[in-house]
Amino acid sequence: KDQIAADVLSYIALLRGEGGVSEARWKELKANSELQFNFKEKEAPEDYTSSVASSMRRYPLRQVLFAGSNYARFNATAIRAFLDHLVPSNLILMYAAKNEDLKDTLTDQYYGVEYKVSPFTEEQRSLFEAASNGSGKKGLALPAASKFIVDDTTVKELDA
């Protein structure tokens, strides 16, 4: 469980590094999002209605249908500021498991389930800091640009 959190922090360190925040990467994500929006797979009407209703709580009415797919403009400063908050000192790690032998547990007042709250050990802290500083898991890499995302979605006519 700790290694998974460390791997996520290592990947975030990659994003913070050179080439992680780039307009080219952002444009690719935007193009992919637009393709997914424009060529959305059919779904059950009740699922779509529920999704739109949920969006109405988060977005202005004019943006409800496309807000989750909308990449308005590239802002490297805002992206970096966000990534700078994804560090071990802001980390809250939740671990859920059946049959876990916990000592000194608390009981949830609503569901009656046992849980435990504890600070990170020094070993965990060291693991997470190393990962966040870029000296964590080796072998992680940012994806190369996709050659499968198209710019022109015009349907060509077939010759008779």
> Residue 119: what pLDDT?
92
* Angle in degrees, CA 95, 130, 103, rounded to 5: 30
Residue 32 is classified by DSSP as H
Q: Are 145 and 28 in contact (CB under 8 A)?
A: yes
Question: pTM (2 decimals)?
Answer: 0.78
CATH superfamily of 2-135: Metalloenzyme, LuxS/M16 peptidase-like (3.30.830.10)
139: left (phi over 0), alpha (psi -120 to 50) or beta: left
Q: List for the chain the helix, strand, coil content (%; round to 5).
A: 50, 0, 50
pLDDT tens per residue across all 160 residues of the chain:
899 999 999 999 999 988 889 999 999 999 998 888 888 899 999 999 998 999 999 999 988 888 878 888 999 999 999 999 999 999 999 888 777 777 888 889 999 888 888 899 999 999 999 999 988 778 899 999 998 888 788 888 888 6
